[in-house]
Structures are given as C-alpha cells and as structure tokens.
Chains A and B, each alone.
Chain A
C-alpha cells in the first residue's frame, strides 16, 4: 500500500526525524492561510501516488501567501499519470546546500532489510545506480540485532565528511529504521536528505510503501489508505478481494492464480492480441468473486471479448461455472465470452455451462486464440 508524502512525514516526525513544518490543504484558500502561518518561502506539493511529480509540474515554490494560493489553483485538480490531485502539502521551503539519498528496502537476495545511501541525492536513485554505482553504499541489517550505532555512523560518514553532520545523519537513519520496522514497510525513503547553510541535516521529502500483508495487524497504518487516490476499477477489485491491474488492451482476462494469470496475458499477446487487464480471482471458488470479476471487466469500454481461464486445484470449476451463470443473468453480456475450464469437478462445470448455453474448452491455447479473434471482430 502506498501512503502519501505527508503521511510518511508524520510517521517520521513521530520518530524524531527533523522535517520542515507543513500542513495539508484541499483548497487555494487553505493553502494561503497555511503559507501565512508558516511565513517566508513555501513549497506547494501535489499529494498523489505517482513518481515524477516535480517534472509534471506538481511541485512549486511560492514567495508569498498570495502566490502560494495561485500555484495551488494550478496544482489542485491537475492530472498526474492519470491521477487527479485532490490534496497538496504546504511546507516551509528549506535552504538547501547539499542533497543526499537515504532509503531502506527489502532485498530478496540477502533476505534482509537493506539500507541504501548516496551523497548524490535529490534525483532518481536508479540513475545514480547506473551512472555512479560507487556513490551508493548498501548495508544489510541483521534482523536479530537491528541497526547498530556503528553501522549508522559508517553510513553517516559515507554521506558527510564532518562529524556533526555524520552524527545527525546516523541518528536519522536509526529513526528511519524504527519507522520502517514499526510501520511494516517494504520501502522507506528520504530523498533528499539535505544540509542547510546553518549545518542542519533535515528530511525534505519522504516516501513509504507498506507491505499489504502487515495491514491486518496494524489498523493505525491501514487507516492511512486514501481510496480517492486509487484507480476506480482497482479499488473495486480490492474491495472484492481480487487482484486487478488495468492495462491498455481489449481482451479481458479472468484467471485463478497469479502465475497462470500472467501466463494467460502473455499467451494473448503471443497470439496477436492485447490483454486488457491482470485479474486473479485467487484460490477460493466463491461464486461471488466471479460475479464481481465480471462486473469490473465489463465496466471497461475498451474490452471487446472476455476470457475465463480456470485451472481447478483448490478452486472448484463447478463453482466458477455457477458464478458465470449468475453474473451473466444479473448483467447480460454485450461482448463475447470464451471459457476455458479444467481440473476439479470439470464434468459438472461443463454440464452447468452447457445447460445455460455456454460453450467451454479444456485447452488453454484454443481458448486464447478464439478470444483474440473475437476481440479483433473475427468470426464467433
């Protein structure tokens, strides 16, 4: 789960990370009031779950409260990567001397949380990794002991030559690590971590991604979810306990299991079609899930044909067949449907479908070729 910059900053502030004061606003008038309260130069920053906000014009400096209201008018309501900006963070502008990067991620190879720090901050860290790999220091943390002070100091000295700044940075790394662990994060970044002309070390931007599997046991973190920041069909899918990702194509895909779902999309492409989505109905065979899946897929006007690809293991294919019958009775389909079912209870499933006038195949390649042809307006 993504959380907004202002939410990540709230979490880090509670751990003691020095961050310039800021408040959240939804109207230009509020922005003006906040800018006046803060005093001096402010930054108005779009709060959306998309990278590249600055490049898209979603981050602007303002010298006066009136100017802050002006830039807020432009940013609020603007579209960044398909998402509408509904909130802005108004924060005191820092006087920046140097910019560094500090991040923690889960590393699959070392199977640990790993710190990544670089004195070349402020820009995309991936670029640094390509152009200046020696400017990145990586430090895996042993989960049994946590981040040790000497480790934090090593990273502090990697960023700054002087002891006072290295100490300040080391303290911030300890605080970031605590926030990472206590929030159940899979990523936590401060980019940039800046130094000011007064030799302060402060965090100017923050980003955190929470492991979805942590949300059940961390209701306070789960409450940070901003549903208005999610794509509508993906939000509906999540509420229905389905994993859904919208794509650009026109072949709707409903599959059980993530691996098979990806393989199905790939096969659609292999036979010359374009998948409209990734949709995994998961391991259970609750007919309700099938109904919800069909509702989400048919709401996309781009979808010209729909493919069910179900391999019944735990999933009972007769349950899926019942789901298809129920769903199409509630909302008759306007696009052709191709059904591929095999595995647990497939004879019963094929019988249920035949009774209601649906054809089904057992072969995945046949089904995919057929649905691709239908999506292109080919023969039924």
Chain B
C-alpha cells in the first residue's frame, strides 16, 4: 500500500512536448511509471518517443486512455487553465509542478478543482513518488527506496536531502509527497497526514515545514487529536528575517506570526518528535520504527 499513487496509476502529462515536460516524461517512464498519454494542443495524433499517444485536449486523452492522474509542466500563464481542464475532464489526482503561478489564479482554481471532486497537489511542487511503483513529478527516483516512512514537505531539494539521508541509513519510504511552497496550494499537510494515518504500510511520518502561514500549527493539532502514528517535524527558516517572505497582513488574518519558533512550539505541544537538523530525522525515526 501507499498513498495517492501506486503501480496502477495511469499518468498523463500536460505539456509533454515542452523542455521540462519531455525531460521528466522520460525520467518517469524510466522509473516505471505508467505514462499513458500526453497533451499538447496542436500535436494531437503524434506520438511522444514513438510510444506515448499525444492528444489536443485532456478530455480526449482521458476518454481514450483512461488516465486517472495528470502531471502539469506548462508555463505559469497557462497553468491555471491546465489544472481546471484536468479537473473538468474527470482526472481525480492533479499534480502541478509549474513554479510562478499567480496567486489570484489559484483563488479561482482551488474551488473549481474541489467542486469537480479532484485532489490537486501543488502548484510549485516536486510532485510525489511511491518508491518502486510510480513517480509523478520530478523527485529523483534514485534516492528513494521502498519502506514504511511517509514523507511530506513544502519544499523540493530539502525533501531530497532528508530522503537521501533516510535511504543511506537504511530507512525506506512508503510515499514521498511535496505539497509545494505557494501561499495557496491544493493539498495541505493535514490532507497528507490523514492519508498516511489510513495507509497500513506507513508506520511513521517525516514532515518538513517552513516559516509563514499556519499550516504546520494546524497539522500539529491534527497529529495530537487524530493520529496514532508517530510524526517527526522540522521547520526551515529559523534564521529567516521577519517580513521578507510573507506580508505581516497575512499574519493578522491567521492570528499568528508564522515564525519557526511558534511552529516548533506547536509541534512540541502536540507531542511530535522534533528534528533540529535534517540528519536528526534518522535517529528519531529509528527509535520509533
């Protein structure tokens, strides 16, 4: 078992003929992901690398190939439309890798995707991977091994850092999910924690948060109230100066300043393990597995 994706996931790639889309399409196929279709308007009828059928629209691709996961590599001005197109076509898991999507676009995309009953991961995220089964996005497959630790993170390379250290220490992963670092994203820490709690294969969770917002504090409450599995938390940005990455007006709305100290305190109150350094995950997880 795993969460969100496994061997049976049928993946379509929006923007498969672009520079990033084509590079990562090959990486995903090499990893063993079932890439069943690509979408590039105007290139319908062609084949990617002579094998993957390309369609003009997501609706056509879904009808022909029964794709149930879409991963998006289109440029920022078109990303909002691509996410909505996938949701409207009935795709139930949408992963948007694109960085630089305007936040006002996301205020429209979020309710649209929800109404269509789809789960959106991202935007501005590295995607997800169930080691040994399927990789959707850009997480390097080589650093992951199958196992029982669920990984969830707001960042990309920091996730790789931690996963790499786990793998080197002999700790495998059930699924690794990058939820993205934008102010408005489709999937929150709580969504992923709940999925890990219900996944029989996952025995412990590594969670990497960042300064800003209140997602981590809410996740800590969720861990305390609703979870039995151990969760180890880390917050990046303990030395970040206030007011540079997030406006203070945002802090007022949430009734919180979003500092690392505040988030770590929430972790502590929830009884979570706290990794002060990325490498601390190894010992803390070993003690709980």
Chain A contact residues, CB within 8 Å of chain B: 103, 105-109, 111-114, 116, 125-126, 129, 136, 138, 142-144, 181, 184, 186-187, 189, 209, 211, 213-214, 216-217, 245, 247, 255-260, 262-263, 265-270, 275, 278, 283, 311-315, 342-344, 364-365
Contact = CB atoms under 8 A, between A and B. Distances in A.
17 contacts: A106-B250, A108-B214, A111-B184, A113-B107, A116-B249, A116-B253, A143-B107, A187-B247, A189-B249, A211-B103, A260-B160, A266-B239, A268-B239, A343-B160, A344-B140, A364-B278, A365-B279
Contact of A260 (B99, B155, B241, B254): B155
A106 B251 CA distance: 11
Interface string B217-253: 0000000000000000010111111001001111111
A313 B279 contact: no
Interface string B82-115: 0000000000000000011111101110110000
A227 B167 CA distance: 46
A110 to B, nearest CB: 8
Interface stretch (B6-14, B33-41, B54-62, B205-213): B205-213
Given A111-B110, A184-B102, A311 B157 contact: yes
Contacts of A214: 102, 104
Contacts of A143: 104, 107-108, 111
A245 B168 CA distance: 33
B1 interface: no
Given A143-B111, A266-B236, A213 B279 contact: no
B276 A270 contact: yes
Interface of B: 76-77, 99-104, 106-108, 110-111, 126, 138-140, 143, 153-161, 164, 181, 183-184, 208, 210-215, 234, 236-241, 244, 247-255, 260, 276-279
A258 B237 CA distance: 9
A269 to B, nearest CB: 5
A331 B33 CA distance: 45
Contacts of B183: 106, 108, 186
Given A107-B254, A109-B213, A258-B210, 10 more contacts: A108-B212, A109-B253, A189-B249, A257-B155, A262-B237, A263-B236, A266-B239, A312-B140, A313-B140, A344-B140
A165 B251 CA distance: 29
A108 B164 contact: no
A324 B148 CA distance: 39
A108 B179 CA distance: 14
Nearest to A125: B252
Contact of B236 (A114, A184, A262, A314): A262
A114 to B, nearest CB: 6
Contact of A245 (B103, B241, B255, B260): B241
Given A259-B157, A311-B157, A343-B160, A108 B250 contact: yes
A260 B157 contact: yes
Contact of A262 (B103, B104, B211, B248): B211
A187 B279 contact: no
A107 B76 CA distance: 21
What 5 pairs between A and B have smallest CB-CB spacing? A259-B155, A257-B157, A259-B158, A262-B236, A260-B157
B252 A126 contact: yes
A78 B158 CA distance: 41
A178 to B, nearest CB: 13
Contacts of B140: 312-313, 343-344
B240 A313 contact: no
A312 B157 CA distance: 8
B208 A259 contact: yes
Given A126-B252, A314-B138, A365-B277, A213 B76 contact: yes
Contacts of A364: 161, 278-279
B138 A313 contact: yes
A259 B108 contact: no
B171 to A, nearest CB: 17
Contacts of A126: 248, 251-252
Contact of B184 (A103, A108, A116, A311): A108
Nearest to A269: B239
Contacts of B248: 126
Nearest to A103: B249
B156 A217 contact: no
Contact of A186 (B76, B103, B239): B103
B239 A259 contact: no
Contact of A108 (B76, B153, B211, B215): B215
A41 to B, nearest CB: 31
A266 B238 CA distance: 6
